[in-house]
Amino acid sequence: MLADLGLDLGLGLGLGLDGDLDGDAAVGAGGGGGHRVLEIGTGTGWNAALLSHRVGAEHVVSIEYDPVVATGAAERLAAAGWGSRLVGEGRKEYGGGGEAPYSRVIATCSVGEVPRAWIEQAAPVG
């Protein structure tokens, strides 16, 4: 269970998934250490916790447009030991700003088209 990985955010979620599977899907095949990940659309903080487990919290930036949702996610992540620094409040079309480039940009929100800033903040494919 994900709670066994230290990913219990106190949400009562029992998805029965292997956290590494989700982390691998998020950072891509062969993912792991060395990736810097921008998640756009923090929501509950669940994906930010999975990503932090996979690549390290210091390599994850997650932004959330709604300040109430961002505050809740930051509090849950901090209470679970992941630290609230993961969550920034911001408009999704601007991306993660000053911490770019990112080796992975993950949108867990909907958009009509991919904002130019996301492309510009992605590291060149190596």
Q: Amino acid letter at 108? A: T
Q: How confident is the model at residue 12, as a pLDDT?
A: 52
Count of all residues that appear for the chain in the document: 126
Question: Over the stretch 19-76, which tens digit does the pLDDT of each residue have?
Answer: 444 555 555 534 556 788 999 999 999 999 999 888 888 889 898 988 899 899 999 9
What pLDDT shows up at residue 91?
66
Confidence (pLDDT) at 34:
75
Encode pLDDT of 90-119 as tens digits. 666 677 777 889 999 999 988 899 989 889
Pair 73, 42: CB distance under 8 Å: yes
Q: Identify which of 113, 77, 90, 82 has the alpha carbon closest to the alpha carbon of residue 41.
A: 90
CATH number attached to the domain at 2-121: 3.40.50.150
| Integer Cα distance of 84 and 71 in angstroms | 9
The pLDDT of residue 2 is: 45
Q: In the chain, where are the structural domains located?
A: 2-121
Predicted pLDDT of residue 29: 39
Where does the pLDDT of residue 17 fall: very low under 50, low under 70, confident under 90, or very high at 90 and above? very low
Q: Look up the pTM and report it.
A: 0.74
Q: Which residues pair with 64 in a beta bridge?
A: 89
